[in-house]
């Protein structure tokens, strides 16, 4: 079964927030399973996007060279350089953006 656009957005933003916090060595709470059950309307998604943009901008402003060049743990995964985590997360987000685009194309083709 394919994920809805809302689920893909909620999951991608959850991953983005978790990643930037991990790179900055900040604790974070995330319910990844709940992201895949999200049912938000357009207004709620826009509010979530705005909130995440503000949070990520704040974390990027505080990013240090050490955050990028030192090893950072993330959950139960082996530590990686902060920059490696960020590049990996960028790729993850691009994959889901492509899924969103494909889902939209499939939906539009039905009408």
Question: What CATH number has the domain bearing residue 64?
Answer: 1.20.120.450
CA 85 and chain centroid, separation = 12
Indicate if the pLDDT at residue 77 is higher than 90: no
Indicate if the pLDDT at residue 63 is higher than 70: yes
Domain that holds residue 72: 5-109
State both tokens at 70.
């030192």
Task: Compute the C-alpha angle 99/5/73, nearest 5°.
Answer: 70
The phi and psi torsions of 10 (rounded to 5 degrees) equal: -60, -45
Question: What predicted TM-score, i.e. pTM, was given to this entire model?
Answer: 0.89
Number of domains in the chain: 1
Confidence of residue 1 (pLDDT cuts 50, 70, 90): low
Averaged pLDDT for residues 57-83: 94
CA separation for the pair 10, 8 (Å, rounded) = 6
* DSSP E strand boundaries for the chain: 71-74, 77-81
């Amino acid at each position: 079964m394919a994920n809805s656009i809302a689920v893909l957005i909620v999951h991608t933003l959850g991953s983005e927030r978790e990643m930037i916090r991990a790179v900055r060595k900040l604790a974070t709470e995330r319910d990844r399973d709940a992201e895949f059950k999200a049912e938000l309307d357009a207004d709620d998604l826009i509010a979530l996007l705005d909130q995440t943009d503000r949070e990520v901008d704040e974390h990027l402003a505080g990013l240090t060279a050490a955050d990028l060049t030192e090893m950072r743990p993330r959950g139960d995964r082996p530590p990686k350089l902060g920059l490696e985590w960020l590049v990996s997360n960028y790729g993850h987000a691009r994959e889901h953006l492509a899924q969103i685009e494909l889902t939209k194309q499939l939906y539009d083709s039905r009408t």
